[in-house]
């Protein structure tokens, strides 16, 4: 007598199935979409099911607890096979596809997700949003949502490229790879140069050599929609060591790479230029003529924003200091002797709306030409010396447009701060932002007798003066700025709180 046959295990039953045959019965728990194409299971009764485990399946109206949990979490049924769901998602009916959104709407979505609240202590830059590292992480995560978001967010990820040595390894190689992709026309801001002090190593020298040999010109030709360009030279901070000082030849190569690229590569959309150079003599390279190049005046006339920084604060031009000696390049090219190239460079920007000047060491810029500042909206001076007459002419030229004014460690060579702030009823009547930090007088100026300090609580950081009228006019201009902001429903500025 043969022993009773044990039922085959599920694995054996599955191995005996011929998976190459066309199924004749509908799998369990498979929902049918009336809008989907004809199914091979339509000729089978809905009550018939097939199970390799034997026994009768549970009714279709009572799904398993696992399926119930999946549906409660995701909000939709996950019982259909992946292939079946993909086939339904790619249905030929266009009405069920996602609507096409214009690029402007995608930009609004991105700005809503990653933009911070506007910070008024930061000046207005072209395409200045989303440059913080956390914003880039948010943009990268948004690309992983779906294909539609990937196509919409990718241009925002490539909007800003940086090829700065000292922050990344081989930055030019990374940017060259990005310039060969389909997102190169999306680049709006490009930064190059050196972060921090100079290091006499081969990587730094090779970086400048590649720029001089045409690397920068090639990159600019691949970014036709570039709006912001920034050149950063290595900083020179006193006291310095000669080993950490860039040589004159390499500094000239870094500046000339930018000058020649701007002259021979047409950038019709360039509106913002950031230049950080150690000495004013480097601006003389922009005035060298070339019959085959673009005229310097045509390039500067299209600029709307100009940010200039002189980042060599070693020593002083007036006398030698054994504790804080001048750098090699500054000792050879004193700042004040070549300041005329610096101010003439600004003069060619006829349509500038935002102008920022930071010299890090006292530099007399009294020969600024007010005729090129008719459209000025934002004006910032830091670490400079200037005459009262120059400020008066500038404010008179832009009295209908200027809305932002900022002084940081500005020394007057003539007149008083009361004369400057007294223009709040005429030339500065439309100000919406005002900040003054350590406004004082030049030690060799006409008003040096007012040079001093004050111990008035809460205002010691604004002015360093002994003139009583300076404080009264400062209060008046703060009151006017606060009134203008309230009239336009703007939040109260921390620098112009009027109690």
**Residues 485 and 431: beta-carbon distance below 8 Å:** no
- Burial label, 81 (beta-carbon count in 10 A; 0-12, 13-18, 19+): exposed
Q: How far apart are CA 432 and CA 429, in angstroms?
A: 9
Do 437 and 464 lie in a common domain? yes
Residue 121 shares a structural domain with residue 243: no
- Cβ atoms of 459 and 403 closer than 8 Å: no
pLDDT in tens, the chain (499 residues): 555 555 555 445 534 544 444 444 444 444 444 444 444 334 444 444 444 344 454 455 555 554 454 455 445 544 445 454 444 444 444 444 555 677 677 777 776 766 554 455 454 444 444 455 566 677 777 777 777 777 777 777 788 888 988 877 788 988 998 899 888 898 999 999 998 888 888 888 999 999 999 899 999 999 999 999 999 998 876 666 667 778 888 899 999 999 989 888 888 899 999 999 999 999 999 987 765 667 778 888 889 999 999 988 777 765 566 666 778 788 888 888 999 999 999 999 999 999 999 998 889 999 999 998 999 999 999 999 999 999 999 999 999 999 999 999 999 999 999 999 998 888 899 999 999 998 999 988 888 888 876 555 555 578 888 888 999 999 999 999 999 999 999 888 877 765 4
Instruction: For residues 177 and 175, give the distance between their C-alpha atoms in angstroms, rounded to a whole number.
Output: 5
With tokens 């090129």, the residue in question is 372
Burial-class residue 59 by CB neighbours within 10 Å (0-12, 13-18, 19+): exposed
On whether both 111 and 242 belong to a single domain, the answer is no
Residue 290: predicted pLDDT: 66
- Same domain, yes or no: 130 and 203: no
Q: Could you tell me if residue 62 is inside a domain?
A: no
Kindly state whether residues 190 and 120 are assigned to the same domain: no
For the four alpha carbons of 30, 33, 36 and 37, in that order, the dihedral sign comes to positive
| CATH, residue 475 | 3.80.10
Residue 4 lies in a domain: no
Which residues are paired to 190 by β-bridges?
161, 229
- 441 within a domain of the structure (yes/no): yes
Is residue 122 located within the same domain as residue 229?
no
177 and 110 share one domain: no
Asked whether residue 143 is domain-assigned, the answer is yes
- What is Dmax (Cα atoms) for the chain? 127
Two structure tokens written together for 158: 């490539």
Boundary-marking domain end, from 111, 134, 157: 157
Q: Give the Cα separation of 126 and 354 in Å (integer).
A: 10
**Distance (Å, whole) CA 401 – CA 404:** 9
Same-domain status, 280 and 428: yes
pTM of the model: 0.74
Count of domains forming the chain: 2
Q: What is the DSSP letter of 25?
A: S
Same-domain pairing of 259 and 391: yes
Q: Which long-range contacts (CB under 8 A, 24 or more apart) does 315-320 make?
A: 315/238, 316/361, 316/362
Nearest to 242 by CA among 327, 320, 119: 327
In a shared domain, residues 423 and 447: yes
d(CA 442, CA 387): 10
d(CA 235, CA 355): 21
Q: Is the dihedral of CA 345, 349, 350, 354 positive or negative?
A: negative
The count of C-alpha atoms lying within 13 angstroms of the C-alpha of 362, restricted to the half-sphere facing its C-beta, is 18
Beta bridge partners of 377: none
Q: Which residues make Cβ contacts (< 8 Å) with residue 367, sequence separation at least 6?
A: 339, 340, 343, 390
| Domain identity same for 377 and 241 | yes
* Under 8 Å between Cβ of 257 and 216: yes
Does 323 reside within a domain? yes
The DSSP code for 67 is: H
Same domain, 411 and 388: yes
Kindly state whether residue 70 falls inside one of the protein's structural domains. Answer: no
Structural domain span for residue 273: 172-496
Residue for token digits 């072209």? 126
Reported in sequence order, the residue ranges of 278-396 that DSSP labels E, i.e. its strands, are 305-310, 354-358, 378-382, 385-386
The alpha carbon torsion through 202, 204, 209, 212 (nearest 10 deg) reads -170
H/E segment holding residue 138: helix 133-142
Q: Token digits for 111?
A: 């700005």
Residue 490 lies in a domain: yes
> Is residue 473, in this structure, part of any structural domain at all?
yes
């Amino acid at each position: 007598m043969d022993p009773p046959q044990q039922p085959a295990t599920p694995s054996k039953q599955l191995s005996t199935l011929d998976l190459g045959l066309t199924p004749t019965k509908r799998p369990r728990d498979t929902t049918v979409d009336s809008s989907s194409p004809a199914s091979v299971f339509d000729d089978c009764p809905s009550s018939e099911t097939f199970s390799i485990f034997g026994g009768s399946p549970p009714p279709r109206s009572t799904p398993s607890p696992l399926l119930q949990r999946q549906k409660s979490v995701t909000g939709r049924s996950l019982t259909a096979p992946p292939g079946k769901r993909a086939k339904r998602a790619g249905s030929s009916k266009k009405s069920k596809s996602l609507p096409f959104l214009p690029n402007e709407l995608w930009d609004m979505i991105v700005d809503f997700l990653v933009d911070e609240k506007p910070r008024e202590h930061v000046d207005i830059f072209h395409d200045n949003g989303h440059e913080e590292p956390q914003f880039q992480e948010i943009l990268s995560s948004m690309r992983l949502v779906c294909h539609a978001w990937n196509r919409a967010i990718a241009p925002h990820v490539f909007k800003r490229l940086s090829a700065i040595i000292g922050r990344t390894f081989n930055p030019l190689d990374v940017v060259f790879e990005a310039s060969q992709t389909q997102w190169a026309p999306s680049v709006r801001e490009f930064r190059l140069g050196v972060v921090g002090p100079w290091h006499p190593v081969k990587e730094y020298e090779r970086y400048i050599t590649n720029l001089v040999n045409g690397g920068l010109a090639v990159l600019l030709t691949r970014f036709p929609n570039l709006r912001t360009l920034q050149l950063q030279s290595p900083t020179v901070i006193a006291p310095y060591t000669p080993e950490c000082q860039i040589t004159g030849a390499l500094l000239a190569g870094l500046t000339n790479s930018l000058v020649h690229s701007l002259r021979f590569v047409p950038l019709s959309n360039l509106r913002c230029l950031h230049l950080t150079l150690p000495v004013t003599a480097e601006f003389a390279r922009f005035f060298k003529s070339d019959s085959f190049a673009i005229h310097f005046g045509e390039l500067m006339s299209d600029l709307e924003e100009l940010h200039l920084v002189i980042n060599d604060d070693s020593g002083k031009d007036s006398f030698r200091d054994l504790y804080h000696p001048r750098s090699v390049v500054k000792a050879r090219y004193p700042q004040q002797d070549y300041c005329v190239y610096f101010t003439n460079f600004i003069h060619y920007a006829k349509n500038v709306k935002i102008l920022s000047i930071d010299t890090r060491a006292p530099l007399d810029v009294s020969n600024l030409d007010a005729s090129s500042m008719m459209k000025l909206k934002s004006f910032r001076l830091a670490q400079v010396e200037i005459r009262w007459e120059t400020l008066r002419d500038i404010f008179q030229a832009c009295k209908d447009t200027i809305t932002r004014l900022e002084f940081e460690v500005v020394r007057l060579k003539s007149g008083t701060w009361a004369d400057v702030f007294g223009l709040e009823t005429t030339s500065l009547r439309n100000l919406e932002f005002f900040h003054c930090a350590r406004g004082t007088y030049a030690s060799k100026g006409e008003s040096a007798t007012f040079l001093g300090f004050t111990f008035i609580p809460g205002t010691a950081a604004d002015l360093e003066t002994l003139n009583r009228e300076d404080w009264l006019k400062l209060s008046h201009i703060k009151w006017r700025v606060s009134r203008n902001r309230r009239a336009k429903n703007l939040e109260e500025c921390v620098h112009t709180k009027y109690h």
